[in-house]
A = this chain, B = another copy of it.
């Protein structure tokens, strides 16, 4: 214990803020990692950051085959990852696409349709070039590929409305698309659906500097919003790895989770209002900018997380919190999962209002990262530990040096949040919850801590084939699944666990030499059934899309799915909006088949 206390004591004398997420936007593109969604970049132009920036840049280049260019929303000519592991992954995991049959009640586009769209959108808004369509037809992971011959790029809500009114009357299926960064095949066509890409609707419409309420169009790239808010002294309540490409309309449509959920909650809480266009072209103006409004049913929530299957979100009103200036990060070790859980509970109680991240990885994940990622070193090198935890705190720590009458110079606030974290860590070590730990002293150290957590998906890809599951589970049960899975699979696979422990979100990854139906049959449906028994969610933050549409019953009751289907029928009687997604085909097949009626 003396040794451990010494570790902290060694680290305790720096009070400089470690880093500042807000500065992550201009200098280089974001690095996207598929599951963790975690990036930690810095751009402040001072020398101390140079090494870190170079490291990230190298990293970005090295893995660009996995990435789509960020920051501009341009989908053309982007590198694709074509490695061996990927092709198998594709074949194995995209099976939903191969078993889906086109709904024959949908029309196919013809020259009259094209003429009509050109009339309302102009030539520029009607995309038929093969190369552009190829990108728009393919998801980021190249797991799913549609065969659409037409992408429309409206520039206003009215244009979206006219497009949908027409498509509905013609029974032309459509797929709404933003940054096309989804991981479950939700943002690309399955067959020849018309792609409605809202990237051109990318204006910030209003921002209230007092309330922090921003209204913007659906096509705004998340990173641009973060950057805009940074200049205003605010932050987005949402931050995720795909921020350089993903768009706010898609974020809201998929109820994206991300890094700040533990602190700022889900988009159901942050989004104050929406404008959405229904399948028949009706524009629903629910674009309130109020924190409180109890006048009738709060219909915006239907569109948050419905993955574009009920309407196309065209504008978003969102409450953004003030940017806080003091950020600290600790990398800790725990001897068992129970300690991790208790540490979380204690952190919520004692760090309370300043806790901004609580991430975990197990020994297998740590081992993989250290093996496969260059340049990373173990922050706690004396021995390997069963579990590792990252705790980040963020607080308001204004320097009050400019106050002439300030009477408490002895308590500079820039120290307070750090000291609070230090005190918490000391206490946790004293009580035995934490067996070792380090508190980042500077931006480089913080970045290297985050890099370990961020690096897990990448290390997994390098290790071979991987079966990935994104699960929400009661935290007390979460690790039981990992252990049971290890028992089931024995030496046949490496079962790796990490994720957002603070949100109860487990990323369960099963790493093998190669994909193998025998192993898959031991994993599925076991993993879904186990999750279902614990009343967990088979999709914590990625949505269902095409990939898991027919798995919904593992997380939702039959009655609830029936009601979802009834609402889908009510809002989209012809089923033209993002077909084959979200709900099972058996339910969806009851929709559609209305006689196309060109009444435009």
A342 contacts which chain B residues (CB < 8 A)? Answer: 210
Contact of A297 among B305, B396, B415, B475 (CB under 8 A): B305
Q: For the complex, is A96 an interface residue (Cβ under 8 Å from B)?
A: no
Give the nearest-CB partner of A429 in chain B: B405
Q: For the complex, is A73 an interface residue (Cβ under 8 Å from B)?
A: no
Q: For the complex, is A249 an interface residue (Cβ under 8 Å from B)?
A: no
A75 contacts which chain B residues (CB < 8 A)? Answer: none
Decide if A210 touches B269 in the complex (CB within 8 Å).
no
Q: For the complex, is A482 an interface residue (Cβ under 8 Å from B)?
A: no
Give the nearest-CB partner of A502 in chain B: B291
Give the nearest-CB partner of A290 in chain B: B472
Decide if B559 touches A283 in the complex (CB within 8 Å).
yes
A411 → B minimal CB distance (Å): 6
Decide if A294 touches B541 in the complex (CB within 8 Å).
yes
Contact with B along A252-263 (1 / 0, CB 8 A): 001101000100
Contact of A5 among B290, B405, B474, B563 (CB under 8 A): B405
B-facing residues in A346-382 (Cβ within 8 Å): 348-354
Decide if A543 touches B283 in the complex (CB within 8 Å).
no
Would A535 and B476 be within 8 Å (CB), given that A295-B544, A413-B423, A564-B296 are in contact?
Answer: no
Decide if B395 touches A423 in the complex (CB within 8 Å).
no
Contact with B along A203-241 (1 / 0, CB 8 A): 000001111100000000000000000000100000000
Q: For the complex, is A570 an interface residue (Cβ under 8 Å from B)?
A: yes
Count contacts on A: residues with CB < 8 A to the other chain. 115
A246 contacts which chain B residues (CB < 8 A)? Answer: none
Inter-chain CA distance A427–B5, complex, in Å, is 38
A294 contacts which chain B residues (CB < 8 A)? Answer: 254-255, 257, 305, 537, 539-544
A406 contacts which chain B residues (CB < 8 A)? Answer: 423, 426
Inter-chain CA distance A352–B342, complex, in Å, is 27
Inter-chain CA distance A567–B564, complex, in Å, is 11
A343 → B minimal CB distance (Å): 10
Contact of A349 among B286, B322, B566 (CB under 8 A): B322
Would A396 and B351 be within 8 Å (CB), given that A296-B544, A559-B282 are in contact?
Answer: yes
Inter-chain CA distance A491–B92, complex, in Å, is 78
Contact of A268 among B255, B298, B310, B407 (CB under 8 A): B298
A426 contacts which chain B residues (CB < 8 A)? Answer: 403, 405-407
Inter-chain CA distance A560–B299, complex, in Å, is 8
Decide if B285 touches A559 in the complex (CB within 8 Å).
yes
A108 → B minimal CB distance (Å): 29
One of A42-50, A62-70, A129-137, A548-556 at the interface:
A548-556
Inter-chain CA distance A422–B406, complex, in Å, is 10
Q: For the complex, is A344 an interface residue (Cβ under 8 Å from B)?
A: yes
A527 contacts which chain B residues (CB < 8 A)? Answer: none
A419 contacts which chain B residues (CB < 8 A)? Answer: 408, 411
Decide if A540 touches B292 in the complex (CB within 8 Å).
yes
Inter-chain CA distance A301–B539, complex, in Å, is 19
Decide if A537 touches B293 in the complex (CB within 8 Å).
yes
Give the nearest-CB partner of A548 in chain B: B295
Contact of A301 among B254, B285, B302 (CB under 8 A): B302
Decide if B349 touches A233 in the complex (CB within 8 Å).
yes
Would A296 and B556 be within 8 Å (CB), given that A403-B423, A405-B5 are in contact?
Answer: yes
Give the nearest-CB partner of A268 in chain B: B268
A358 → B minimal CB distance (Å): 12
Contact with B along A544-588 (1 / 0, CB 8 A): 100010001011110111011011001100000000001100000
Decide if B299 touches A563 in the complex (CB within 8 Å).
yes
Decide if B301 touches A268 in the complex (CB within 8 Å).
yes
Inter-chain CA distance A460–B543, complex, in Å, is 51
A422 contacts which chain B residues (CB < 8 A)? Answer: 408
B-facing residues in A133-156 (Cβ within 8 Å): none
Q: For the complex, is A109 an interface residue (Cβ under 8 Å from B)?
A: no
Decide if A261 touches B537 in the complex (CB within 8 Å).
no
Decide if B324 touches A285 in the complex (CB within 8 Å).
no
Q: For the complex, is A345 an interface residue (Cβ under 8 Å from B)?
A: yes
Decide if A295 touches B538 in the complex (CB within 8 Å).
yes
Contact of A292 among B348, B396, B541 (CB under 8 A): B541
Decide if A284 touches B537 in the complex (CB within 8 Å).
no
Decide if A305 touches B299 in the complex (CB within 8 Å).
no
Q: For the complex, is A179 an interface residue (Cβ under 8 Å from B)?
A: no
A543 contacts which chain B residues (CB < 8 A)? Answer: 294
A390 → B minimal CB distance (Å): 18
Inter-chain CA distance A537–B210, complex, in Å, is 19
Q: For the complex, is A245 an interface residue (Cβ under 8 Å from B)?
A: no
| Residue from A288, A295, A548 whose CB has the most chain B CB atoms within 10 Å | A295
Q: Which residues of A contact B (CB under 8 A)?
A: 5, 9, 12, 208-212, 233, 254-255, 257, 261, 265-266, 268-269, 278, 282-299, 301-302, 304-306, 310, 321-322, 324, 341-342, 344-345, 348-354, 394-396, 398, 400, 403-408, 410-411, 413, 415-416, 419-420, 422-423, 426-427, 430, 472-476, 500, 503-505, 535-544, 548, 552, 554-557, 559-561, 563-564, 566-567, 570-571, 582-583
A-B contact pairs, 27 of them (CB 8 A): A210-B342, A210-B476, A255-B298, A261-B291, A289-B535, A290-B537, A292-B472, A292-B505, A293-B555, A294-B542, A294-B543, A296-B560, A296-B561, A296-B582, A296-B583, A297-B305, A297-B564, A299-B560, A299-B564, A301-B301, A322-B348, A322-B352, A324-B353, A353-B353, A403-B430, A411-B415, A411-B419
Give the 5 A-B CB pairs with smallest separation, nearest first.
A269-B269, A301-B301, A352-B396, A353-B353, A293-B537
